Amino acid sequence: MDNKQNNKKPEYPKPPLPKMKKSQKITFWIVLLLMIIIFFQLSKMSNGKITPISYTELMEKVKRGEILKVIFNDKDLRVVDTENRQYSLYLPFRDPDLVKELSSSGILVYAQKPSKLTAFLLSWLPFLVFIGFWLFMMRGMRGGAGQAFSFGKSRARLTIGGKTRITFKDVAGVDEAKEELEEIIEFLQDPKKFQRLGGRIPRGVLLVGQPGTGKTLLAKAVAGEAKVPFYSISGSDFVEMFVGVGASRVRDMFAEAKKNAPCIAFIDEIDAVGRSRGTGLGGGHDEREQTLNQLLVEMDGFDANDSVIIIAATNRPDVLDPALLRPGRFDRQVVVDLPDIKGREEILKVHTKKLPLSKNVSLSLIARATPGFSGADLANLANEAALLAARKNKKKIEMVDFEEAKDKVTLGKARKSKVITPEDKKITAYHEVGHVICSIFQKETEPIHKVSIIPRGFTGGATHFLQTEKMNYSKSYLEETLVGLYGGRCAEEIAFGKNHITTGAYNDIERATDIAKKMVCNWGMSPKIGAIVVAKKESQVFLGRDITKHETISEETAKKIDNEIHRITSTAYNNAIEILSDKKELLDEMAKILMEKETLNADEIYELAFKFVENGEKEFIETKYKKVKEMAFEVSSKDKKSQENDSAEKTEKPPTPDKSENNSEKSENSAKTTEKELKEE
């Protein structure tokens, strides 16, 4: 009985049938009526079985007296014989003697008037079909919005305030941006509060930020909070294949907005229509440029009392036209940046408020473990944790599910089925332990959390660190970071020899070279080059503008730069060799244990380290280990205080990983110079 119930397929509610518009209903009934009329007319004409007959056969049957009656319908004849069989005949010519001969033979002769409706339908039906097909094609060409000739009509969707479920309560981690937009809404609702001191309404607000930081979500929250009409449209909706359509749609959207003022219009991905003019391959008469010109005119042509505010979002502010960004059009540029630890915790609270969390889940620890994560990344992390817990038939989501979800999101799913040779496993173990030891025996490196050689995604292993929030990075910190990055390759060289180093350190070397290059070219940390910037600003190439720019340096300076980069990387490599050679016994023992257990946490790592350190180093290692414990205690205390306010029980958990080093191209980054770079890795 229970098995039958368990095997019973779940019943899902049937989706509601789509509702037809009034015009669609009228069209449907007209087509249905025409089909019914045609059906009855054709069935009337084809009542009974009618056999075609020739003129000669007809005259022979007349002579034999087998014909009962003949019905004339213009040039068509229908013949009925004495056995009630029907025949049809077409006369292309008129025979005046035929009627006389039929009458003289005693045959009944009838004349039937042609049906005007049938004749009309048969003559006009092909034309009507062609018109219907043309209207259908025109409707498809313009995307299915509006009437057949409304190419220039705006596609902006109107939302009346309060109809959307998303509000500012659903937005977290971007408090400054929320304040800016809340002020805009307040201005529309109570403009006199600001105008009494001479202030004027902002014409536009531009939301700038990386993908996934919540720009569109903020706009949805504005739509939910505002008590005024809210128009939303994508930048790509303005531009079509027909010349002049984009500019016409801009005019129509602003005309509608002015009719419903005060209101807000939101343009998502405005870089699709707002790119700099005169730099593309289309020239000055490009359709997109005409659309941008019209947008500039409409934004700057508002009446002071129109109370229409434009909110736009983009993640490519560098390609926008300068005329679009000037005050009077977009008065405010609101940066929606990646959230910090506090912001990530608030975002996690929003995305987990409807999830059944276990008491051991610490959102503070998860926030500390996810530097560089955007709001969309954290939402995906919470969803993955819920899916993992559901796959294991758990009633609540536990901390281990979040940690596994983070590893899956950042490194990929664990490849348990992958067959790894003992030789590859040994190389990976030494590589990861090299990272660990170089981190432990340096002063400014991040605290170790765990090391693993379980393959995930494209990685063979990873070393995880706890994150300490930093705004500035010192030269000594970056130099120690380089030593840690080279630790994997140096461990391979010490354990297996220079001729047996592998390709596993490719990503580590790439990242180390990048940091060294920035130290010399961007951050002025080379005494020989000096405090100057000789590197081009990193951004995506904008065809037409960037292609004509040439930033060159002298050959002598380029040679100095290459020498300085080589000096910095060589020094870091030699320091890593020195540390690992001095701790060769620890390297061998930790690699051996890691091969057996596949994963070592911070307690196991430092327990091994204490066995192989000298007396002078013991205090230094204790300080590093104490830092790990302090970070865990700091977060645990914060969680305890928060849960006491919520009358919830606190269960301590060990710290989760922050960032990782591994021996693969797509490994996580253990040392980044900015949170943005952390995210990009």
pLDDT higher at 466 or 428: 428
Q: Which fold has domain 344-411?
A: Helicase, Ruva Protein; domain 3 (1.10.8)
Catalytic residue among 432, 479, 493, 681: 432
Q: Are 232 and 159 in contact (CB under 8 A)?
A: yes
* pLDDT above 90 coverage of the chain, percent: 21
User: Residue 279 class from Cβ within 10 Å (0-12 exposed, 13-18 middle, 19+ buried)?
Assistant: middle
Question: For residue 308, what are the contacts with CB-CB under 8 A and spacing of at least 6?
Answer: 254, 257, 258, 261, 262, 263, 264, 265, 302
Which amino acid does the sequence have at 19? K
Q: Which of 285-299, 370-384, 656-670 has maximum average pLDDT?
A: 370-384
CA-CA distance, 36 to 40, in Å (whole number)?
Answer: 6
Could you write out the DSSP letters of every residue in 122-180? HHHHHHHHHHHHHHHHHHHHTTT-SSTT-TTS--PEEE-TT-SS--GGG--S-HHHHHH
- Domain coordinates in residue numbering, the chain: 51-117, 157-277+286-335, 344-411, 422-530+556-631
Residue 641 CB neighbours (<10 A): 10
Q: What angle do CA 200, 203, 205 make, to 5 degrees?
A: 120
Find the range with the poorest average confidence among 132-141, 488-497, 517-526, 598-607: 132-141
For residues 481-490, one letter each, b for 16 or more C-beta atoms within 10 angstroms of the residue's C-beta and e for the rest, the string is: bbbbbbbbbb
Please confirm, yes or no, whether 598 is among the known catalytic residues.
no
Average pLDDT over residues 544-555: 59
Put simply, whether the predicted model's pTM sits higher than 0.75 gets the answer no
- The enclosing H or E element of 37 equals helix 22-45
CATH match of 157-277+286-335 with 3.40.50.300: yes
Could you write out the DSSP letters of every residue in 441-490? TSSSSPPEEEEE---BTTBS-EEEE-----S---HHHHHHHHHHHHHHHH
Q: Are 71 and 100 in contact (CB under 8 A)?
A: no
Find the range with the poorest average confidence among 209-213, 483-487, 663-667: 663-667
CA-CA distance, 571 to 575, in Å (whole number)?
Answer: 6
Q: Are 482 and 568 in contact (CB under 8 A)?
A: yes
Question: Residue 48: pLDDT band by 50, 70, 90 thresholds?
Answer: low
Strand bridging mode 157-159 / 108-111: unpaired
Q: Are 289 and 321 in contact (CB under 8 A)?
A: no
Which amino acid does the sequence have at 596? E
CATH match of 51-117 with 3.40.1190.20: no
Judge whether residue 325 has pLDDT over 80.
Answer: yes
Find the range with the poorest average confidence among 11-25, 201-215, 472-486, 589-603: 11-25
CATH number listed for the domain at residues 422-530+556-631? 1.20.58.760
Question: For residue 471, what are the contacts with CB-CB under 8 A and spacing of at least 6?
Answer: none
Q: What angle do CA 239, 241, 247 make, to 5 degrees?
A: 40
